[in-house]
Chains A and B, each alone.
Chain A
Amino acid sequence: MNLLLIPASIAVTYFVYWLNIKCYNRWKLVILTPILISPIVLILLLNATNTSFPAYYKGAKWLGYMLGPATIAFAVPLYKQFDVVKKNFVEILCSLTIGSAVAIVSSFLYAVWMHLGSQLSNSLVPRSITTPVAMGISKVIGGIPTLTAVFIIITSVVGGLLGTFLIQLLRIKEPSAKGLMLGMSALGAGIAKAFEMGELEGTFASLAMITAAIISIILASTIFPLLQGDLLL
């Protein structure tokens, strides 16, 4: 029975995801994104079948494991778009350095302002970075990696929902700027949204996610400890 649970949890997760993608493609609503709906459906299924999370995760963690290789796979589009990167290097570097710094500082300041406590606040800090990297940073700075993963998903959904509205409000016209802001702030769902706007927007959004991860690693290990020391003690 326990042995069966491993392939079963992988198969069920994949099936729920597959069905979710079908619905998402049919209606094109950000709220239907698989990173929001699939986990909710699976939680309900675990409850209904009286399965504990550790029992489920024993098998499903192998799907989560593939996030590592999938992150590495981003080297391929990065390589293919290397000329675009070189041409827009200043724009990419400056906007993402500012974006990453604002993400770290504003998440933390708003969290402290709301009195969320150090564990939750620390877990919020890497919420604008791609998950495998963010979970690593979360652990190092004293957060809870799983909670960080959940906050990233909420970020992605919120960013995907607000993105179009903010682009209009701030009168962002450049495709590169649209892509960079969506990829920087809304990650997965932002990239999907950017690709709906156009190929160029989507490319910049994917670039933003990878580049921001690298910049954030540097920022989180340099400026954040200072901020943390000043505000939490």
Chain B
Amino acid sequence: MKFVTGLLQVAAITLLFLLGNAIANYASLPLPGSMIGLVLLFLLLVLRVIKLEWVEQGANWLLAEFLLFFIPSAVGVVDYKDMIGGQWWKLLAVIALSTITVMAFTGLTAQWIAKRRKDVPGESSSHSS
């Protein structure tokens, strides 16, 4: 029974994906259907049109196997062997450098704001500056 419920919930979420795609097509939005579907599902939950239990199990299944769905497109790299060829080390360098840059900026900004917010209301607890 639990299996059937989960399956139906996955089907419902998939319908939302089709709806998202249709909206993106119809309104010629530059957004992927999945993002529109995400916002739709979120709004449906917040506005209490649907209950969390109606989608929770199916959503958890999909999230648990999230990495599986990446694999087929990753295998597609075989078709671009010639294009990547001798440039693979440059690509790796760009990705590694840029990833480090992004991490540093994101982490330091977040930490700076989190600390400031903590310092403001609790002035007595911290004796800095």
Contacts and interface: CB of A to CB of B under 8 A. Distances in A.
Interface of A: 13-14, 16-17, 33-35, 38-39, 42-43, 46, 53, 56-57, 60-61, 63-80, 82, 88, 90-92, 94-96, 98-99, 102-103, 106-107, 110-111, 114, 116, 119-120, 124, 127-128, 131-133, 135-136, 140, 144-147, 149-151, 153-155, 158-159, 162-163, 166-167, 170, 172-174, 176-178, 180-182, 184-186, 188, 208, 210, 213-214, 217, 221
B121 interface: no
A202 B40 CA distance: 24
A64 B72 CA distance: 6
A42 B46 CA distance: 41
Nearest to B9: A73
Contacts of B79: 53, 146
7 contacts: A46-B78, A69-B16, A70-B66, A110-B93, A110-B94, A110-B97, A154-B95
A3 B72 CA distance: 18
Nearest to B88: A154
Given A76-B52, A172-B111, A82 B46 contact: yes
B71 A167 contact: no
A124 B95 contact: yes
B30 A140 contact: yes
Provide the main secondary structure of the chain B interface: helix
A76 B55 contact: yes
A132 B34 contact: yes
B85 to A, nearest CB: 11
A123 B14 CA distance: 28
A17 B67 CA distance: 9
A114 B105 CA distance: 22
Nearest to B43: A75
B1 interface: no
A78 B103 CA distance: 22
Interface of B: 10, 13-14, 16-17, 20-21, 30-35, 37-42, 45-46, 52, 55-56, 58-60, 62-63, 65-80, 83-84, 87, 90-111, 113-115, 117
A106 B102 CA distance: 8
Contacts, number: 295
A76 B91 contact: no
Given A61-B72, A64-B69, A174-B114, A166 B107 contact: yes
B64 to A, nearest CB: 9
B102 A91 contact: no
Contact of A114 (B40, B69, B94, B101): B94
Q: Which 6 A-B pairs have the closest CB atoms?
A: A181-B107, A99-B106, A95-B110, A177-B110, A73-B59, A75-B41
Contact of A63 (B30, B52, B68): B68
Contacts of B58: 73
Nearest to B96: A158
A97 to B, nearest CB: 9
Report which residue of B46, B59, B111, B117 has the largest number of chain A beta carbons within 10 angstroms of its beta carbon: B111
Contact of A68 (B33, B95, B109): B33
Given A147-B84, A149-B76, A162-B96, 7 more contacts: A39-B75, A69-B37, A71-B37, A131-B73, A158-B96, A177-B107, A177-B114
